[in-house]
């Protein structure tokens, strides 16, 4: 009896708090289906309003939304893929040929992540200006690859470290070459780890909002920068702001929900599993 | 395959990542260091004379620096306090037997995936706006005066928004850690008639220390460089009331074009981050062993 009672209390409490935390997102999605007048109404309604798609039509037709969406995809996916290509050999080497220096090297990589972006802001800005990289996708892909590289290496390292080394040795005894060893033995085991690393880094790069705001203008701006342009005065059009926001966060929210387990492991640098 | 061969191969495999990171770290940092001793303003062309420590002197004695230094501490400290305190509470709650636990977790986690510019603008306009925001409507409904959050409590408002973004992360990490707590230990403690409080202090907290360390480390890395949330809400104002060091250097470099002074500021920011990092790395290095 007492068990059911506490279950009811805990459930109600947990659901209420969860609802409150989620509410701003729910509210944004609901507002995106309202008219502008209803969106700022002083007696707002949760569900009882005239649902409309006009805001989505407006955002898509009156602004280059598709361009910014494409930019986000190119920058997030591109930088994550390039980052993987560079990080896989490094993580493989650190996991399978550990030396006394490996730990220091990992710590050093983590420390580059701690370098505040303002410490390198001006040189990067001036170099980008001189090389014509300002407001280009290429420029952002480069920066995003470099700032996420330490996290990619770390995540892959924690996955690779758990692959039993005996497997590789027995493959070697069976006469497998290094290439065969990597392709037929290592890759299949490592693939889930690589996939979740990729997923997480796409999420991180998609939401990055320092360099994307500083190094882009009209052409290469991803969604983070495009939404920032709503800060005034368009931001006062709540329904349109909501529609643009809902489309910007939906794909990543879904991806994030699917990768929550990997998120814990990846972002805690393997400290929590 | 000889071990000598594989060892050199391992070194080659490391090369691209290590050299890229080394270049990315050293080249711009040295350039910042160089600019920081020059009288260099993009709006005033001409000789960029060597002026020694003058930029540092101006930057460090500027009242704006003192204010944004303390704002940075308040911002990082405030968000850490809220997210870790709230995160521990929520994690313990979600660890109980409740209906639909997985769905609750999805709802709680969601804000972490919202891009900073979206969450800042949604909070600023749709919730905290003194005329049309939901909080203003609620205040009037209850017969109270609507609060103009961003002019009356600019820094606190930013802290609230950022905490909303990071609470899910802290909760998720801590929940995962709590779930790995040995149930038998808890039951044994119960048999020894340990109360909920002593169970919390002697079993849960020590078990969580590793996870808390990880949360502090990761959040601090990101929180020291909070930028977008300030840019789209208060632009650092009113005055410097919600300017952190990152935002201060941004205004000096890309709005006032004072490269020399902003570079000095950048170096100061690097030194501060390093001091924090040394402390954190000691902690995490200890906690990540094994």
Residue B133 lies in a domain: yes
- pLDDT per position as a tens digit, B5-36: 667 777 888 888 899 999 988 899 999 999 88
Where does the pLDDT of residue B74 fall: very low under 50, low under 70, confident under 90, or very high at 90 and above? very high
If asked whether residues B12 and B110 sit together in one domain, one would say: no
Per-residue pLDDT, averaged over B169-196, amounts to 82
Compare all CA atoms of chain B with the CA of A270 and give the residue at the minimum distance. Answer: B288
Contact B115 A97 (CB under 8 A): no
- pLDDT per position as a tens digit, B88-111: 999 999 988 889 888 999 999 999
Compare all CA atoms of chain A with the CA of B123 and give the residue at the minimum distance. Answer: A24
Pair of tokens at residue A97: 């040929």
If asked whether residues B75 and B188 sit together in one domain, one would say: yes
Cα B70 to Cα A41, A260, B58, B67, B162, distances in angstroms: 39, 34, 18, 5, 17
Q: For residues A209 and B240, what is the distance between their CA atoms, to the nearest angstrom? A: 21
Contact A18 B269 (CB under 8 A): no
Q: For residues A249 and B113, what is the distance between their CA atoms, to the nearest angstrom? A: 7
Apex CA B161: angle with CA B159 and CA B163, to 5°? 65
Residue B134 lies in a domain: yes
Per-residue pLDDT, averaged over B163-191, amounts to 86
Shortest distance, CA B97 to any CA of chain A (angstroms):
6
Q: For residues B76 and A267, what is the distance between their CA atoms, to the nearest angstrom? A: 18
Q: What is the mean pLDDT of chain A?
A: 86
Interhelix angle B63-95/B205-223, nearest 10 degrees:
140
According to the model, what pLDDT value does residue A236 have? 73
Please, are residues A241 and B123 in contact by the beta-carbon 8 Å criterion?
no
According to the model, what pLDDT value does residue A210 have? 92
Residue B30 lies in a domain: no
Which of B7-16, B76-85, B277-286 is modeled with the greatest confidence?
B76-85
Q: For residues A196 and A262, what is the distance between their CA atoms, to the nearest angstrom? A: 6
Residue B10 lies in a domain: yes
B263 touches chain A (CB under 8 A): yes
- Which single residue is written with the structure tokens 């910007």? A248
pLDDT for residue B4 is more than 70: no
Contact B210 A271 (CB under 8 A): yes
According to the model, what pLDDT value does residue B57 have? 87
According to the model, what pLDDT value does residue B3 have? 54
Phi, then psi, of B44 in degrees rounded to 5: -115, 90
If asked whether residues B13 and B42 sit together in one domain, one would say: no
Containing structural domain, residue B17 = 1-25
Chain A contacts of B232, Cβ < 8 Å?
228, 231
Q: Which of A118, A227, A237 to mutate to test the interface with B (most CBs of B within 10 A)?
A: A118
Residue A243: CB atoms within 10 Å: 26
Contact A93 B172 (CB under 8 A): no
B44 touches chain A (CB under 8 A): no
According to the model, what pLDDT value does residue B112 have? 92
B122 touches chain A (CB under 8 A): yes
Contact B134 A25 (CB under 8 A): no
If asked whether residues B271 and B134 sit together in one domain, one would say: yes
Compare all CA atoms of chain A with the CA of B102 and give the residue at the minimum distance. Answer: A257
Pair of tokens at residue A135: 């407001």
According to the model, what pLDDT value does residue B285 have? 66
pLDDT for residue B255 is more than 90: no
Where does the pLDDT of residue A218 fall: very low under 50, low under 70, confident under 90, or very high at 90 and above? confident
Pair of tokens at residue A1: 């009896």
Where does the pLDDT of residue A15 fall: very low under 50, low under 70, confident under 90, or very high at 90 and above? very high
pLDDT for residue A60 is more than 60: yes
Per-residue pLDDT, averaged over A124-151, amounts to 92
Per-residue pLDDT, averaged over B183-204, amounts to 78
B140 touches chain A (CB under 8 A): yes
Chain A contacts of B255, Cβ < 8 Å?
none
Alpha helices in B48-204 (DSSP H): 54-61, 63-95, 101-109, 116-121, 134-141, 149-152, 154-179, 183-191, 196-199
If asked whether residues B11 and B106 sit together in one domain, one would say: no
- pLDDT per position as a tens digit, B41-66: 887 877 778 888 888 988 898 888 99
Residue B31 lies in a domain: no
According to the model, what pLDDT value does residue B1 have? 43
pLDDT for residue A235 is more than 70: no
Burial class (CB in 10 A: 0-12, 13-18, 19+), A51: exposed
According to the model, what pLDDT value does residue B169 have? 92
B108 touches chain A (CB under 8 A): yes
According to the model, what pLDDT value does residue B5 have? 60
pLDDT for residue A58 is more than 60: yes
B253-262 CB burial, b ≥16 within 10 A, e <16: beeeebbbbb
If asked whether residues B185 and B264 sit together in one domain, one would say: yes
Task: Give the DSSP letter string of B190-251.
Answer: HHTT--HHHHIIIIIHHHHHHHHHHHHHHHHHHHTT--HHHHHHTTT-STTTT--HHHHHHI
- pLDDT per position as a tens digit, A65-109: 999 999 999 999 999 999 999 998 888 888 887 777 888 888 888
Contact A241 B112 (CB under 8 A): no
Residue B6 lies in a domain: yes
- Global pTM value: 0.89
E strand or H helix at A30, and its extent? helix A2-31
Residue B217 lies in a domain: yes
According to the model, what pLDDT value does residue A140 have? 93
If asked whether residues B226 and B150 sit together in one domain, one would say: yes
- Which three-class secondary structure state does DSSP give residue A130? helix
pLDDT for residue A231 is more than 50: yes
Q: For residues A87 and A85, what is the distance between their CA atoms, to the nearest angstrom? A: 6
* Rounded percentage of chain B residues whose pLDDT exceeds 70: 95
Contacts of A224 (CB under 8 A, 6+ apart): A72, A206, A207, A208, A209, A212, A213, A248, B115, B116, B117, B228
If asked whether residues B116 and B248 sit together in one domain, one would say: yes
Per-residue pLDDT, averaged over B221-245, amounts to 90
Chain B contacts of A27, Cβ < 8 Å?
122, 126-127, 134
Look at chain B and report how many structural domains it folds into: 2
Residue A89: CB atoms within 10 Å: 20
Q: For residues B201 and B185, what is the distance between their CA atoms, to the nearest angstrom? A: 14
Enumerate domains of chain A plus CATH numbers. 2-54 (no CATH), 63-231 (1.10.3720.10)
- Which single residue is written with the structure tokens 């643009």? A244
CATH code at B186? 1.10.3720.10
Contact A107 B125 (CB under 8 A): no
Where does the pLDDT of residue B85 fall: very low under 50, low under 70, confident under 90, or very high at 90 and above? very high
According to the model, what pLDDT value does residue A11 have? 93
If asked whether residues B116 and B61 sit together in one domain, one would say: yes
Contact B104 A18 (CB under 8 A): yes
Per-residue pLDDT, averaged over B221-247, amounts to 90
Shortest distance, CA A273 to any CA of chain B (angstroms):
7
If asked whether residues B89 and B4 sit together in one domain, one would say: no
- pLDDT per position as a tens digit, B130-155: 888 889 888 888 988 888 888 889 99
pLDDT for residue B289 is more than 60: no
If asked whether residues B183 and B97 sit together in one domain, one would say: yes
SS (H, E, C) B165-201: HHHHHHHHHHHHHHHCCCHHHHHHHHHCCCCHHHHHH
- pLDDT per position as a tens digit, A174-197: 877 777 777 787 778 888 888 888
According to the model, what pLDDT value does residue B290 have? 42
Contacts of B239 (CB under 8 A, 6+ apart): B67
Task: Give the DSSP letter string of A92-109.
Answer: HHHHHS--TTHHHHHHHH
If asked whether residues B199 and B63 sit together in one domain, one would say: yes
Alpha carbon A237 to its chain centroid, in Å, reads 27
Contact B90 A231 (CB under 8 A): no
Nearest to B121 by CA among A252, A208, A87, A246: A246
């Amino acid at each position: 009896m007492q068990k059911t009672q506490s279950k009811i209390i805990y459930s109600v409490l947990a659901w209420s708090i969860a609802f409150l935390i989620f509410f701003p997102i729910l509210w944004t999605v609901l507002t995106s289906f309202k008219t502008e007048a209803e969106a700022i109404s002083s007696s707002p309604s949760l569900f009882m309003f005239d649902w409309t798609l006009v805001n989505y039509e407006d955002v898509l037709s009156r602004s280059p939304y598709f361009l910014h969406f494409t930019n986000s995809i190119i920058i997030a996916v591109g930088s994550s893929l390039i980052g993987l290509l560079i990080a896989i050999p490094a993580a493989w080497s650190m996991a399978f040929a550990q030396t006394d220096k490996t730990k220091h090297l990992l710590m050093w990589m983590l420390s580059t992540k701690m370098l505040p972006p303002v410490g390198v802001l001006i040189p990067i800005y001036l170099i980008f200006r001189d090389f014509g990289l300002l407001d280009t996708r290429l420029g952002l892909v480069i920066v995003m690859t470099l700032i996420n590289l330490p996290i990619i290496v770390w995540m892959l390292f924690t996955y690779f470290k758990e692959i039993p080394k005996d497997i590789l040795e027995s493959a070697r005894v069976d006469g497998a070459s290094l290439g065969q060893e990597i392709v037929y033995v290592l890759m299949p085991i490592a693939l889930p780890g690589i996939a979740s690393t990729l997923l997480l880094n796409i999420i991180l790069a998609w939401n990055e909002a320092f360099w994307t705001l500083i190094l882009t203008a009209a052409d290469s701006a991803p969604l983070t920068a495009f939404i920032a342009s709503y800060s005034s005065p368009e931001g006062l059009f709540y329904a349109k702001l909501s529609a643009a926001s809902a489309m910007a966060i939906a794909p990543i929210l879904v991806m994030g929900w699917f990768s929550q387990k990997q998120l814990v492991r990846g972002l805690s640098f393997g400290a929590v599993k | 395959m000889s071990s000598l061969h594989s060892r050199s191969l391992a070194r080659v495999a490391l090369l691209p990542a290590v050299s890229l990171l080394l270049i990315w770290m050293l080249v711009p940092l040295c350039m910042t260091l160089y600019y920081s001793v020059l009288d260099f303003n993009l709006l005033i062309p001409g000789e960029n004379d060597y002026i020694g420590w003058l930029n540092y002197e101006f930057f460090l004695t500027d009242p704006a620096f003192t204010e944004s230094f303390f704002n940075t501490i308040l911002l990082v400290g405030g968000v850490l306090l809220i997210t870790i305190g709230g995160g521990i509470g929520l994690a313990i709650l979600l660890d109980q037997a409740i209906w639909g636990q997985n769905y609750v977790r999805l709802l709680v986690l969601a804000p972490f995936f919202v891009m900073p510019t979206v969450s800042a603008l949604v909070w600023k306009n749709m919730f905290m706006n003194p005329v049309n925001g939901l909080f203003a409507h609620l205040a009037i409904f209850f017969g109270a005066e609507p609060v103009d959050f961003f002019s009356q409590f600019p820094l606190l408002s930013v802290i609230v928004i950022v905490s909303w973004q990071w609470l899910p992360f802290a909760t998720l990490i801590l929940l995962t850690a709590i779930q790995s707590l040995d149930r038998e230990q808890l039951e044994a403690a119960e048999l020894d008639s340990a109360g909920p409080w002593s169970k919390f202090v002697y079993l849960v907290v020590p078990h969580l220390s590793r996870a808390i360390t990880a949360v502090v480390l990761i959040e601090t890395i990101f929180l020291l460089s909070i930028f977008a949330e300030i840019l789209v809400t208060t632009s650092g104002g009113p005055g410097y009331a919600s300017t952190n060091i990152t935002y201060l250097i941004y205004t000096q470099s890309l709005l006032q074009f004072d490269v020399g002074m902003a570079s000095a500021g950048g170096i100061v920011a690097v030194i501060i981050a390093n001091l924090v990092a040394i402390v954190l790395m000691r902690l995490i290095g200890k906690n990540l062993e094994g």
